[in-house]
Amino acid sequence: MTKAGIRGLHGPRGTGSTARGAGRALVAVYAILALAATGRSVVQILDRFAEAPVAYSLSALAAVVYIVATIALVARGRTWIRVAWAAIVFELAGVLIIGTLSTFAPDLLGIDDPSPFGRQATVWSFYGAGYGLVPLLLPVLGLIWLRRRSRTNAADASAVDPTDATSGRPA
Amino acid sequence: MILGFTIAQSAVAGIAGLLCVILALAKRKPNDATFLALGLVEVLLIAQVVVALIAPAVGNPATGNLIEFWGYLITAIIIPPLAAFWALAEPTRWGTLVLGIAALAIAVMVYRMYQIWTVQLA
């Protein structure tokens, strides 16, 4: 596709949805992870919340963050782009912090089962090992994608905006 | 769960996933073959629901956590239709990749379901 063709997919300036091209695959992975995290969290809370309330609460939080990230990546508009940034940064911090705690100080999370596939494992435990490290890699890809997208949107805005106040010249 | 059926199911999902990933690398857009492959994965998941409902009554009960098992199965069964819907509006290799990702996710989930069903209580 020509550059113009790709830009044309992004919608009004600064508001392009991620739901095109490679972003579509990114959203797919986010959606599947959101579903998996939500399913796991619901089961843990309904079935055995008392076993590890801290870990399971974090599990629920992770699920919510993934859902928000998925929606924010699909929705159009500058606010949603900011929400997407926030959610992805939060989830990266989450997987790094909880990954470290679960590996080196599991008692702080109330976990006594060291297995990433065990009863007490959450999406972020052991850096997402129980999910093929996808929870660790995905936010990195997400941030790279958001940066590319904001650059493309910025290029669109300065290239095609005839009402650009800074230009001072007739369109 | 039945071991033979589980292996078949995982294999079908795995092969469908790999097929879609290879086609995506070859820049092919989603076609009948890719959608049919995902459709087959879905049919097998529906069959798995039937198996899971009947199995305990015929001497094959789950030794693992049933809530966890059904959580996985219900999550799994909604993924192929969602993926197909999502890929329909993306007539490029990325749409094909979406189908591949979904199929591979199902392959993993089926394997996890089998682990949960047959967990050996220490």
CB contact under 8 A, A42 and B71: yes
**How distant is the alpha carbon of residue B45 from its chain centre?**
6
> B100 pLDDT exceeds 80?
yes
pLDDT of residue A18: 60
Residues of A with CB under 8 A from a CB of B: 20-25, 27-29, 31-32, 35-36, 38-40, 42-43, 46-47, 117, 119, 132
CB contact under 8 A, B71 and A39: yes
For residue range B61-70, what is the model confidence (pLDDT) as tens digits?
Answer: 888 888 889 9
CA distances from B30 to A146, A170, B20, B34 (A): 25, 45, 8, 6
Instruction: For residue A49, give the DSSP letter.
Output: G
Among A9, A24, A44, A122, pick the best mutation site for testing chain B contact (most B Cβ within 10 A): A24
Backbone phi and psi for residue A120, each to the nearest 5 degrees, phi listed first: -100, 5
CB contact under 8 A, A35 and B72: no
CA distance B99 to B87: 7
> A15 pLDDT exceeds 70?
no
Cβ-in-10-Å burial (0-12, 13-18, 19+) of B73 comes to buried
- DSSP collapsed to 3 states, A88-151: HHHHHHHHHHHHHHHHHCHHHHCCCCCCCCCCCCCCCHHHHHHHCCHHHHHHHHHHHHHHHHHH
Chain B residue closest in CA terms to A24? B94
CA distance A111 to A127: 15
Residue A45 lies in a domain: yes
Task: Give me the residue label for tokens 């199995």.
Answer: B55
**How distant is the alpha carbon of residue A10 from its chain centre?**
20
Average pLDDT, chain B: 91
Residue A159 lies in a domain: no
Instruction: For residue B28, give the DSSP letter.
Output: P
Give me B109's structure tokens: 């989930």
Residue A9 lies in a domain: no
Residue A2 lies in a domain: no
pLDDT of residue A10: 46
For residue range B30-55, what is the model confidence (pLDDT) as tens digits?
Answer: 999 999 999 999 999 999 999 999 98
CB contact under 8 A, B86 and A46: no
Chain A residue closest in CA terms to B108? A131
Range of the domain at A96: 18-132+139-153
ipTM of the complex: 0.90
**How distant is the alpha carbon of residue A60 from its chain centre?**
15
How far A96 CA sits from the closest chain B CA (Å)?
23
Chain A residue closest in CA terms to B97? A25
What are the residues whose beta carbons fall under 8 Å from the beta carbon of B121, sequence distance 6 or more? B63
CB A17 within 8 A of CB A79: no
Residue A54 lies in a domain: yes
> A84 pLDDT exceeds 80?
yes
CA dihedral A48, A90, A7, B30 (to 10 degrees): -20
CB A146 within 8 A of CB A81: yes
Average pLDDT score over residue span A59-71? 94
Residue A168 lies in a domain: no
Residue A53 lies in a domain: yes
As for how many domains chain A has, the answer is 1
The verdict on B84 touching A (C-beta cutoff 8 Å) is no
